[in-house]
Amino acid sequence: MTISRLRTALAALVLLTAVVLPAPAAIATGESYVALGDSYSSGTGTRSYLADGSDCQRSVYAYPSLIASARGYALNFRACSGATVADVVATQLGALTPATSYVSLSVGGNDAAFVSVLTECAKPAWMSNCNAAVKRAQAVITGILPTRLGSLYGQVRARAPRASVTIAGYPHIFNGEDCNAATWFSPGEQSHLNATADLLNRTTAAAAARAGFAFVDPASGLAGHAVCDDVEWLNGLSRPISDSYHPNRVGHAAGYGPLLAEALTGRQLSVTEQTLLSAELSAPVLAGQQAAYADVDRSIRAEEFVPPDLSSPAARTAAARAGVDLSDPASVARADRTAEALQSRDW
């Protein structure tokens, strides 16, 4: 989405403040704000990223940049696409100090290998086992993640003892419809995937509460704007592929940004023209700041969604086993419906 289109969308989707505040300076010198976490905090999905020497896909259109720009905070933007809990501990916590005023954090989806789950569930049911992939992710969320998050949150509090800390959850990606011709997410699979996001949010919220942190569940705030909704705040299958199934610019400006800002700072956020301009002007400063971490950031390897490839050897083998004629779309679709019906009984 271009800047002009984003601004047009925001005019319809966001209530602008009654009093327009002066734009903060491009180099903010206010309270310290450290943004930690994964791709849902770095801004993957916004299609414009800092040239900081890493593959973290940090964007000035992501909610941390928008909050910092609106409030004049001094942002240390450490969130990185692909980060797990272990990555946050190893590469991001060093940004926290006793002087840190605000901390936001989203993490856990990569620990549960959610991108791999999406990759599996996007295939026709006759060549995949979405149920097994979802259940493996849920087992990690319930059996392993609570301990990891508890340890991480304890370290965040120890390093930033006076900071306001807000944990961000994950949205419902799907609305029950798959409008992308290259994927085969059935309504049942979409329901299981959204339920897995809910499970991840409940698990994360419980760990946040034990640590005394605020938690924001974006599922309600982004409701009605899932993939294939009339107005999408979440990308479907996209180019580049890494942007798939992540919030777009409006998703951050009208969804994540207001939700996180209120929980984190106690003040509402409306993204104005001046906010966007200030965020854009901050790009060189943020890029230079994060370039200092490029070597350590390159240790993080983001999983990438892989669209189904019906020409692959695996697809041909599965098709032969299921009696599918790959040259006939109707045969592919029929077999998908049949296999999905069988798999739904095993849930």
Q: Which residues belong to the active site?
A: 39, 246
What would the two tokens of residue 92 be? 């991001």
Structural contact between residues 141 and 200, judged by C-beta atoms closer than 8 angstroms: yes
Token pair of 333, please? Answer: 């679709």
266-to-65, 150, 223, 269 alpha-carbon distances in Å: 17, 24, 22, 10
**DSSP helix, strand, coil percent of the chain (3-state; round to 5):** 50, 10, 45
Planar angle of CA 332, 333, 336, nearest 5 degrees:
90
Q: How far apart are CA 77 and CA 97, in angstroms?
A: 14
- What count of Cα atoms within 13 Å lies in the side-chain half-sphere of residue 155? 19
Q: For residue 165, which phi and psi values (nearest 5 degrees)?
A: -120, 130
- Nearest partner of 290 among 49, 36, 78, 28, judged by Cα: 78
- Rounded CA-CA distance 280/26 in Å is 8
DSSP 181: T
Strands (E), 2-41: 32-37
Q: In this structure, are residues 293 and 84 in contact, taking their beta carbons and an 8 Å threshold? A: no
Q: What span, in angstroms and rounded, lies between the C-alpha atoms of 329 and 331?
A: 5
Place of tokens 């696409």: 81
Structure token pair of residue 111:
């620990």
Give the tokens for residue 272.
Answer: 């104005």
Using CB atoms within 10 Å of the CB of residue 158, give its burial: 0 to 12 exposed, 13 to 18 middle, 19+ buried: exposed
